[in-house]
C-alpha cells in the first residue's frame, strides 16, 4: 500500500520586500522593487504511512508551519510534488479538506460566541457526517474526556485548555484519515498537556488516523511519536525513530567530578589527566575532557568504554569530593542538531542511513 503522505523534493520560496528602517525607509518601501527570495522549505522528501504518528520538530521559523500548510493545501509548493491521500492538496482543496483535520494551536475553528455543541453540529453538516458516525464519535469523545459538561459553554468563556481539547475533537469528528496538529499544547499547563496527549494517542490508535504533530515540546514527542523529523533552515536534518536518536545519544553520558580545594583546572592539568587515564584504561582514547565552572566534565562514549571503568580510573588519578552522572536529554540532542554538531549524522538521505553512520560515529 502506498504512503498516505508523500513529499518529493518539495521547496517553497517566498518573495518578500526588502524593508528599510525608519520613516524615510518606510516611505521608499512603498515604491520599492527590491525583493528578496527566502527559501522557507528546501528540497524536503518524506513518506508517511497510514496510521503513523509523526513528530515534526524545529526551532521557530524552521519551516514547520510552511510544510504543514503545503500538506493541507493552503500553500502551493514552488517546486516538487506533494500527495496526500493520493491527491495534490492545493489543486483539490475541497476534496482534500474532506479527508483531513487541522488544528492550529494559535487559532480556533470553533464558533467564538456560540456554545461549543453548535460548532460540532455545524461541522456535522459541513462535512456531511452521517448521524450514526456523529453519534458514535460524540459518545466516544465524552467517554474519553468527559466533554459533555462543556457542550453548553460558549467558546469565548472556555479556558485555553478546554478550547484546545474541543478543537482537537472537532478535527477528528469527521473521521479524517490524516490530522495535522500544529503546536496543539502551546501555552497549556502540565496536567492539560498530558490529558491532550492521552487523547491524541487514543484517537490515533482507535481510528488508525495518521497524525502529523508539530511542536516545540519534547514531552509531546516522547509521549506520542515513534518517529520524528527535525527540520532546520528549511532542510530536513533528521528523519528516523525517536529510539534511534535516543540510543545514539543515550550511549553518551557525562561524568562530572568536583575536586577538593579550589584549584583552577587548567588545560595542562586536563592533558595530564587524559594521559594518566589512557595509561590505565586504553579504551578511553575518545573520551572528551572539559570544564563546567569548578567541575571537571568527562564525556564518555559508553559503546566504547564503560563509564564505571573511567570512574575507577579517575579515582586513582585525583581526589574526588563529589561526582555526578548526567544523561544527555533529548532536548539538548535537538539543540546539538540545530547547532550542527558534527558527531550527528546529517543530512539524512533516507531512513536507516542514520543508523549506519551513528554506529560508525
Partner 1 sequence: MDNSSGRLLFNNAGRLPFRRYLSLTRGGILESLTYRTGLFLNLLGNLVYMIVMFFLWRAIYASSPSTIVNGMTFRDTLVYLTMAGAIFSTLEVYLVWKMGRDIQSGQISLYFTKPMDFFLREFFYVSGNVVIQLFLTLVPTLLIVCIFTGWSIPLGWNLLFFTASLFLALLLNFSIDFIVGTLCLYTQSFWGINMVKEVIILLLSGATVPIAFFPDTFRTVVLYLPFQAIYNVPLQILVSHTYTWADYARGLGVQLFWVVVLVAAGRLFFRQSSKIITVNGG
Judged by CB under 8 A, the residue of 3, 6, 14, 186 near partner 1 is 14
Our CB check for partner 1 shows the closer of 102 and 230 to be: 102
β pairing state of 210-215 and 178-182: parallel
125: contact with partner 1 by CB under 8 A = yes
List binders of partner 1 among 176-235 (CB under 8 A): none
What is the DSSP track for 73-127?
Answer: TSS--SEEEEEETTB-TTTSHHHHHHTEEEEETTS--S-TTSBHHHHHHHHHHHT
DSSP state of 31: T
Q: Please identify, among the stretches 90-98, 202-210, 220-228, 344-352, the one whose residues bind partner 1 according to the rule CB under 8 A.
A: 90-98
**How wide is the angle at C-alpha 192 spanned by C-alphas 188 and 196, nearest 5°?**
105
Q: Which three cell numbers stand for residue 293?
A: 565552572
Could you say which residues in the range 141-160 bind partner 1, by CB under 8 A? 154
Q: Does residue 18 touch partner 1 according to CB under 8 A?
A: no
Give the residue, chosen from 55, 82, 105, 127, that forms a contact with partner 1 under the rule CB under 8 A: 127
Contact segment (CB under 8 A) with partner 1 among 18-26, 115-123, 213-221, 340-348 equals 115-123
* Near partner 1 by CB under 8 A: residue from 7, 62, 102, 257: 102
Q: Which is nearer to partner 1, 100 or 188 (CB)?
A: 100
Query: Which listed residue (66, 164, 210, 254) binds partner 1 by CB under 8 A?
Result: 66
Is 124 a binder of partner 1 (CB under 8 A)?
A: yes
Quickly list H helices, the chain: 22-29, 64-71, 93-98, 116-126, 131-145, 160-172, 190-207, 218-224, 242-250, 267-280, 307-317, 330-339, 353-360
The answer to whether residue 42 forms part of the interface with partner 1 (CB under 8 A) is: no
Q: Give the strand order in the sheet containing 288-292.
A: 288-292, 295-301, 252-258, 322-327
- Residue from 45, 51, 74, 250 touching partner 1 (CB under 8 A): that is 74
Amino acid at each position: 500500500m502506498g504512503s498516505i503522505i508523500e513529499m518529493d523534493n518539495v521547496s517553497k520560496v517566498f518573495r518578500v520586500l526588502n524593508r528599510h528602517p525608519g520613516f524615510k525607509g518606510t516611505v521608499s518601501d512603498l515604491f520599492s522593487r527590491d525583493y528578496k527570495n527566502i527559501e522557507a522549505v528546501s528540497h524536503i522528501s518524506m513518506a508517511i504511512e497510514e496510521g503513523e504518528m509523526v513528530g515534526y520538530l524545529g526551532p521557530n521559523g524552521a519551516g514547520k508551519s510552511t510544510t504543514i500548510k503545503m500538506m493541507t493545501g493552503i500553500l502551493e509548493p514552488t517546486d516538487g510534488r506533494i500527495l496526500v491521500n493520493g491527491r495534490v492538496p492545493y489543486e483539490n482543496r475541497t476534496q482534500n479538506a474532506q479527508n483531513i483535520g487541522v488544528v492550529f494551536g494559535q487559532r480556533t475553528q470553533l464558533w467564538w460566541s456560540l456554545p461549543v455543541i453548535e460548532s460540532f453540529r455545524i461541522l456535522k453538516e459541513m462535512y456531511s457526517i452521517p448521524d450514526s458516525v456523529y453519534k458514535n464519535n460524540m459518545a466516544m469523545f465524552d467517554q474519553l474526556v468527559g466533554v459533555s459538561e462543556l457542550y453548553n459553554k460558549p467558546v469565548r468563556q472556555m479556558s485555553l485548555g478546554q478550547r484546545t481539547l474541543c478543537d482537537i475533537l472537532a478535527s477528528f469528528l469527521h473521521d479524517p484519515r490524516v490530522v495535522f496538529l500544529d503546536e496543539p499544547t502551546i501555552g497549556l499547563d502540565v496536567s492539560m498537556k498530558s490529558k491532550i496527549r492521552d487523547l491524541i494517542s487514543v484517537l490515533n490508535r482507535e481510528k488508525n488516523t495518521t497524525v502529523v504533530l508539530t511542536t516545540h515540546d519534547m514531552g509531546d514527542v516522547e509521549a506520542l511519536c515513534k518517529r520524528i523529523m527535525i527540520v532546520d533552515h528549511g532542510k530536513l536534518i533528521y528523519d528516523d525513530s525517536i529510539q534511534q536518536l535516543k540510543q545514539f545519544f543515550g550511549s553518551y553520558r557525562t561524568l562530572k567530578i568536583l575536586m577538593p580545594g579550589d584549584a583552577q583546572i587548567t588545560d595542562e592539568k586536563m592533558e595530564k589527566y587524559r594521559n594518566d587515564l589512557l595509561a590505565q584504561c586504553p579504551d578511553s582514547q575518545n573520551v572528551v575532557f572539559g570544564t563546567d565552572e569548578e567541575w571537571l566534565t568527562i564525556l564518555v562514549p559508553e559503546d566504547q568504554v564503560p563509564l564505571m571503568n573511567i570512574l575507577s580510573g579517575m579515582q586513582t588519578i585525583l581526589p574526588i569530593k563529589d561526582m555526578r552522572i548526567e544523561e544527555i536529554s533529548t532536548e539538548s540532542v535537538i539543540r546539538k542538531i540545530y547547532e550542527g554538531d558534527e558527531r550527528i549524522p546529517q543530512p539524512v538521505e533516507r531512513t536507516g542511513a542514520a543508523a549506519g553512520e551513528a554506529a560508525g560515529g
